[in-house]
Structure 1
Amino acid sequence: MASPVTLGRPRDWRVGAQALVSGQQLRRRQVLNETKHCDCPGCTRKRSGVSRYCGPHRDAASSRGDPLARLPSRNELAIFKKAIDLYMRIDPKFAARVGVDLRALEARMVLPASFCLSVADIHPKLPQIAKAKGLLANWQHKDRRTYTEAVLHALALIGWMQVYFHSDQAGGLWENRNRFLETRAGALMGDFRKTIGTSTLVKKASGATHRHLGRDFVRHAQQTYGKDFWSFVVSTNDGQSMTLLDYTRMALKAANLL
Structure 2
Amino acid sequence: MPVADHARGRPVAWFTQDRSGRKHKLRAAKAVNETGKCAVARCEDHRAGLSSLCRKHADRLKDIGDPVARVPTRNEIVIFEKAIDLYLATLPERRRREIATELDNRARVFQRPVTWAAMPSDMHRRLPQQARAEIIKAWLTKDAKDPRGFFKRALAIEGWAAVYFDGMPRYRRRFIATHATSWATTRGTPSKKLTRRSVKDDPTTVISTPNGWRHPKIETIWTEYQRAHISGPVKARLGQEALDAAHHAYGRGFWDNAVSTQDGQDMTLLDYTKLALRAAGLLPPA
Same fold (TM over 0.5): yes
Say if 2:69 and 2:165, in contact at 8 Å, map to a contact too: yes
**1:1-150 to 2 correspondence within 5 Å?**
5-18=6-19, 20=21, 22-92=22-92, 93-141=94-142, 143-150=143-150
Q: Percent identity?
A: 36
Q: CA deviation at 1:108?
A: 2.4
One-letter amino acid of the structure 2 residue matched with residue 158 of structure 1:
E
In structure 2, the residue corresponding to 1:14 is in which secondary structure?
Answer: coil
Q: Which has the higher helix share?
A: 1
**Structure 1 CA distance, aligned partners of 2:78 and 2:245?**
20
Going from structure 1 to structure 2, the CA distance change for 1:5 and 1:195 (only over 3 Å counts) comes to: same
Does residue 241 of structure 1 match 2:236? no
Superimposed CA distance per residue, residues 159-212 of structure 1 (whole angstroms, 9 cap, x where no aligned partner): 01101102xxxxx11111111112112222243333335322222211011112
Partner SS for 1:125: coil
Q: CA deviation at 1:24?
A: 3.2
Counterpart amino acid of residue 204 in structure 1? H
Question: 1:229 & 1:4 partners in 2: Cα distance?
Answer: 39
- Divergent runs of 4+, >6 A: none
Tell me the secondary structure at the aligned position of residue 264 of structure 2: coil
How far did residue 65 of structure 1 move? 1.1
The residue number in structure 2 matching 1:254 is 279
Q: In structure 1, list runs of 5 or more residues that go unmatched.
A: 167-171
How many equivalent pairs are there?
Answer: 249
Q: Could you tell me how far 1:107 is from its partner in structure 2?
A: 2.5
Map of 1:193 onto structure 2: 191
1:36 maps to a residue whose letter is G
In 2: Cα distance, 1:29 partner to 1:222 partner: 39
User: Once superposed, what is the RMSD of the aligned Cα atoms?
Assistant: 1.7
Counterpart residue type for residue 165 of structure 2: F
| TM-score of the aligned structures, taking structure 1 as reference length | 0.91
Q: How far off its partner does 1:117 sit?
A: 2.2
Contact 2:102 2:248 in 1 (8 A): no
Unaligned 5+ segments in structure 2 are 196-222
SS of the residue corresponding to residue 7 of structure 2 reads coil
Q: Which amino acid counterpart does residue 7 of structure 2 have in structure 1?
A: T
Call closer, same or farther: CA 1:215–1:88 in 2, change over 3 Å: same
Q: Which amino acid aligns with 2:173?
A: N
- 2:238 paired residue number: 213
Q: Is 2:103–2:245's contact at 8 Å kept on the other side of the alignment?
A: no
SS at match of 1:5: helix
Letter in 1 for 2:261: T
Q: Which amino acid aligns with 2:47?
A: R
